Amino acid sequence: MKTQTIRGFKDILPGDIKRWHFIEDTSKAILELYGFSEIRTPLLEFTEVFSRGLGTTTDIVEKEMYTFEDRDGSSITLRPEGTASIVRSYIENSMHLKSPITKLYYIGPMFRHERPQKGRYRSFNQIGAELFGSYDPQYDAEIIIMLWQLFEQSGISAYLTIELSSLGDDKCRPAYKEEITKALKAKENELCEDCKRRLKTNPLRILDCKKETCSNVTSDLPSILDFLCTECKAHFSRVKQLLNMMDVEYVINPKIVRGLDYYNRTVFEVTTTELGSQNAVAAGGRYDGLVKELGGQDTPAIGFALGIERMILLHEKLNPEGFNKKTDLYIAYLDDKFENFAMKTAFELRQRGIVVEVDYNDKSLKSKLKRANKLGAKYTMIIGEEEFDRGKVKIRNMESSTEEEIGIYEIP
Ligand code: HAM
């Protein structure tokens, strides 16, 4: 048997990790600016957390979860997303007692058994934020503004568009659902097999189907925004007004239904045209009923998650040169008897935060200088017999190819 990664899973190699650190560090810094604190929850949860949380008729729960029987017979699942786990933790740790507003963020891997393609993997990483405790549209706007700031700081906002809609609530959505179910039933024959099934279980999801035949059918349907009740309409107007005030651009897309059932009112996706069919780089919305659904008190909430791999793909396009680690100093010694001195000098310089590389082998000076160049070293210290006997070493500036001697006790 060949040892290899599981299909749809991949390694993040050292050559790419700097870009990952950049995206993660930039995101963390922005999230902390807005008062979010990091939370880490287990990768495995009881299956019920997701089946009840995301909705039993969603694609994720129906066909994409990695579900196993644990040794004691209980059903457990590798998390396909973060929100349901965070809600479980919010309830279990009685976070509502600690603060009226709770702001949490998380970074880590999620698992969905989807068909792998560029930008879509079976194991992928998300950065997500969840805010509990308020119905106020100011928070909806603030979350979207924060997300946009995060994309701007990461240098990829030029490739992105915010798409915004409202899904209404339990008061106004049923009428819309009824209306489109009636219209879709009349054209049932034109729908794909999945959508024929969705017509019975979850008709709103048909709006999201990417198949041409289905989108032809849905293009004539009325917009959910025309069905919003007075409260939902006012809520949505205020979100838009605040985004306008902050000059955050967006487009209204009433076809956003999201692949998870917990949403109500504000929903949004941040999309790109650069990644083929995997066009959503981040997505989120309000989910005022989920905490109660999972056994907690009635607590409104809103959040989003972004796909790190998709951000990385965009970042690579805009910054193909990447962020290679630069070596400050490469130490090349020309005789084994200087090995101890080289190791000690490297240790002392590293103690001071200087990035030092030494090759402990007996290659020629020429090949050592070649390697110093490859590492992007700014300087090379050349330790040769003749200078060392005079208490000196050579320092070569790799960019200008000039050399000077310094005393071994002058090495900083
Ligand atoms: P989602 O739309 O399922 O929402 O995923 C959010 C983001 O994760 C997507 O926009 C995409 O960038 C990335 N993503 C999803 N699936 C994959 C995949 N197979 N491969 C690579 N990247 C992927 C959620 O997960 C919600 N929990 C978001 C949320 C948080 N809503 C409220 N709070």
- Å from CA of 269 to ligand 1 middle: 10
Do residues 178 and 250 share a domain? Answer: no
Average pLDDT for residues 319-333, to the nearest whole number?
A: 86
Pocket test for ligand 1, best of 112, 124, 261 (most atoms within 8 A of CB): 124
Range of the domain at 221: 174-227
What's the rounded Cα separation, in Å, for the pair 177 and 198?
A: 12
The residue to mutate among 36, 81, 150, 266, having the most atoms of ligand 1 within 8 angstroms of its beta carbon, is 81
From residue 167, give the alpha-carbon distance in Å to each of 214, 233, 285, 286, 288.
20, 10, 9, 9, 12
Are the beta carbons of 154 and 315 closer than 8 angstroms? yes
Count of domains for the chain? 3
Q: How high does pLDDT run on average in the chain?
A: 94
Average pLDDT over residues 280-309: 97
Q: Cα of 19 to ligand 1 centre, how many Å? A: 20
Hey, what are 383's tokens? Answer: 């330790």
What is the structure's pLDDT at 319? Answer: 85
Q: What is the DSSP letter of 326?
A: P
* Residue ID of nearest Cα to ligand 1 atom 17: 120
Does residue 157 lie within any of the structural domains?
A: yes
| Same domain? 275 vs 287 | yes
Residue 212 within a domain: yes
CA distances from 79 to 65, 280, 307 (A): 8, 20, 15
Residue the block writes with tokens 């810094």: 29
pLDDT at residue 122 above 90?
Answer: yes
Q: 3 lies in a domain?
A: no
Q: Which atom of ligand 1 is nearest to the CA of 84?
A: 27
CA-CA distance, 15 to 222, in Å (whole number)? 49
Provide mean pLDDT across the span 239-265.
Answer: 94
Per-residue confidence (pLDDT) for residue 181, from 0 to 100: 93
Q: Does 322 have pLDDT greater than 80? A: no
* Residue at 357 is within a domain: yes
Q: What is the pLDDT of residues 332-363, one digit of tens each?
A: 999 999 999 999 999 999 999 999 999 898 78
Of the two residues 61 and 326, the one the predictor is more confident about is: 61
pLDDT digits (tens, 9 = 90+) for 365-394: 999 999 999 999 999 999 999 999 999 999
In our burial notation (b when 16+ CB lie closer than 10 A, e otherwise), range 345-369 reads bbeebeeeeeebbbbeeeeeeeebb
pLDDT of residue 261: 85
120 pLDDT more than 90: yes
Q: Is the pLDDT of residue 32 over 80?
A: yes
Same domain, 335 and 310: no
Report the pLDDT value the prediction gives residue 342, as an integer from 0 to 100: 95
pLDDT in tens, 134-175: 999 999 999 999 999 999 999 999 999 999 999 999 999 999
Which of 227, 262, 296 is at the close of a domain? 227
Q: How far apart are CA 73 and CA 346, in angstroms?
A: 55
Q: What is the CATH number of the domain that holds 331?
A: 3.40.50.800
Please name the residues in contact with 329: beta carbons below 8 A apart, sequence gap of 6 or more: 349, 354, 355, 356, 357, 377, 378, 379, 380, 381
Residues 215 and 292 in one domain: no
User: Domain check: are 57 and 126 in the same one?
Assistant: yes
Query: How many CB atoms within 10 Å of residue 60?
Result: 20
At residue 277 the predicted structure's pLDDT band, cuts being 50, 70 and 90, is confident
> Tens of pLDDT along 195-218?
999 898 889 989 988 888 998 999
What is the structure's pLDDT at 179?
93
The arithmetic mean of pLDDT across residues 175-198, rounded, is 92
Integer angstrom CA distances of residue 205 from 103, 195, 322, 385: 29, 8, 39, 76
Query: Given this model, what pLDDT does residue 164 score?
Result: 98
How confident is residue 411, by pLDDT bands cut at 50, 70 and 90?
confident
Are 278 and 304 members of one domain?
A: yes
Q: Is the pLDDT confidence value at 324 over 80? A: no
CA of 110 to the centre of ligand 1 (A): 9
For residue 150, give the CATH number of its domain: 3.30.930.10
Question: Residues enclosing ligand 1, CB less than 6 A?
Answer: 81-83, 112, 114, 120-121, 124, 126, 128, 130, 259, 280-285, 287, 303-307, 309-310
Whole-number Å distance, alpha carbon 271 to ligand 1 midpoint, is 12
The Cα-based distances of 146 to 87, 150, 160, 207 in angstroms read 21, 6, 14, 28
Q: What is the per-residue pLDDT for 410?
A: 84
pLDDT at residue 321 is higher than 90: no
Q: Nearest 5°: CA angle at 334, between 329 and 338?
A: 80
Q: Tell me the whole-structure pTM to 2 decimals.
A: 0.91
C-alpha–C-alpha distance, residues 224 and 360, integer Å = 68
Question: Contact 132/313 with Cβ under 8 angstroms?
Answer: no
DSSP for 85-145, please give it: HHHHHHHHTTGGGT-SSEEEEEEEEEE--PPPBTTB-SEEEEEEEEEES---HHHHHHHHH
Give the model's pLDDT for residue 320: 85
Quick one: pLDDT at residue 258?
84
Atom of ligand 1 nearest to the CA of 284: 31
345's tokens: 């000098």
Q: Tens digits of per-residue pLDDT, 128-145?
A: 999 999 999 999 999 999
Give residue 20's pLDDT: 96
- Residue 363 has a pLDDT of 83
| Amino acid (1-letter code) at residue 128 | G
Instruction: Evaluate whether residue 9 is within a structural domain.
Output: no
Strand partners, 131: 103, 302
User: Cα Rg for the chain, rounded, in angstroms?
Assistant: 28
